[in-house]
């Protein structure tokens, strides 16, 4: 189907109860009606990519109890409402690349016990809340490349209690400091977490390291910060001593 500005008629799919695959991509759809999925319980794959969807909220998808693949890439989705994926207990692949998501919030990815692949690349994500990923106990692949991440909270990924999860993190504007080094060091030491593109993770800040691979400089970051701090402390001590000596000379 490829018709511009398509609107869902109220009972558009009521006679398609045995349908297993539905392609509604490239239709300029702006929303998913509340009753959209009522007669589509047999659906296994749904394509809604390359539309103009802005917001996902219940109950538009909640009757898709057999859905395994959901394509939502290249829309204008800015946020995922809590419960947006309610009822999708068999969903294994969720594609959300190329949207406008800014934050992955706690509660936005609940009720997805079977999810194995979550692709969030090329959004505007600058923050992932601490337990946002915790419900995803089957997750094996998480794509976060090409976002706006500068730092990470290690606890966010430690909450992933999976057998093995592969992470894609390149193409973000990383601020390469001692904290980031510590986070990546911990990630690389966790047996079930694998940063597959670690050697392609590059620094944006500080400017002296722009374009440098984090893998090449990470062991020097904390040393450099420590040296800088020591130099500052030594300078302050010297200035203080100088002022004291200058004060004594004046008194004499």
pLDDT at site 234: 36
The answer to whether residue 205 sits within a structural domain is: yes
The answer to whether residue 2 sits within a structural domain is: no
pLDDT at site 230: 32
Q: Give yes or no for residue 28 having a pLDDT over 70.
A: yes
The answer to whether residue 191 sits within a structural domain is: yes
CATH number at residue 182: 3.80.10.10
The answer to whether residue 229 sits within a structural domain is: no
Averaged pLDDT for residues 9-36: 84
The answer to whether residue 9 sits within a structural domain is: no
CB atoms within 10 A of CB 38: 17
Name the pLDDT band for 221 (thresholds 50, 70, 90): low
The answer to whether residue 43 sits within a structural domain is: yes
Which one is predicted more confidently, 213 or 244? 213
Q: What domain count does the chain have?
A: 1
Nearest to 46 by CA among 74, 67, 15, 32: 67
Averaged pLDDT for residues 210-217: 88
Averaged pLDDT for residues 76-104: 95
The answer to whether residue 242 sits within a structural domain is: no
Name the pLDDT band for 48 (thresholds 50, 70, 90): very high
- Containing 239, the helix (H) or strand (E) segment is helix 214-251
Q: Give yes or no for residue 240 having a pLDDT over 50.
A: no
Q: Give yes or no for residue 227 having a pLDDT over 50.
A: no
Which one is predicted more confidently, 8 or 1? 8
CA 191 – CA 158 distance, rounded (Å): 11
Q: Give yes or no for residue 178 having a pLDDT over 80.
A: yes
pLDDT at site 201: 96
Is the separation of the CB atoms in 143 and 115 below 8 Å?
Answer: no
- The range of the structural domain enclosing residue 158 comes to 21-219
Q: Give yes or no for residue 50 having a pLDDT over 60.
A: yes
The answer to whether residue 102 sits within a structural domain is: yes
């Amino acid at each position: 189907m490829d018709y511009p500005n398509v609107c869902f008629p109220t009972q558009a799919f009521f006679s398609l109860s045995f349908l297993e695959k539905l392609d509604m991509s490239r239709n300029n759809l702006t929303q998913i009606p509340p009753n959209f999925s009522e007669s589509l319980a047999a659906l296994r794959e749904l394509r809604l990519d390359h539309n103009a969807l802005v917001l996902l909220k219940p109950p538009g998808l909640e009757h898709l109890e057999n859905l395994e693949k959901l394509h939502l890439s290249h829309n204008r989705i800015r946020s995922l409402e809590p419960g947006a994926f309610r009822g999708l207990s068999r969903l294994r692949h969720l594609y959300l690349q190329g949207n406008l998501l800014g934050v992955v919030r706690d509660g936005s990815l609940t009720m997805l016990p079977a999810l194995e692949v979550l692709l969030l690349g090329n959004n505007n994500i600058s923050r992932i809340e601490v337990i946002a990923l915790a419900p995803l106990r089957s997750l094996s692949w998480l794509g976060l490349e090409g976002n706006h991440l500068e730092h990470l909270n290690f606890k966010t990924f430690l909450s992933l209690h999976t057998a093995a999860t592969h992470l894609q993190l390149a193409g973000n504007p990383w601020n390469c400091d001692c904290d980031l080094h510590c986070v990546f060091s911990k990630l690389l030491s966790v047996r079930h977490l694998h940063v597959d593109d670690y050697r392609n993770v590059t620094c944006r800040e500080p400017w002296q390291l722009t374009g440098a691979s984090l893998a090449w400089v990470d062991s020097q970051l904390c040393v450099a910060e420590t040296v800088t701090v020591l130099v500052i402390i030594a300078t302050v001590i010297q200035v203080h001593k100088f002022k004291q000596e200058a004060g004594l000379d004046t008194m004499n």
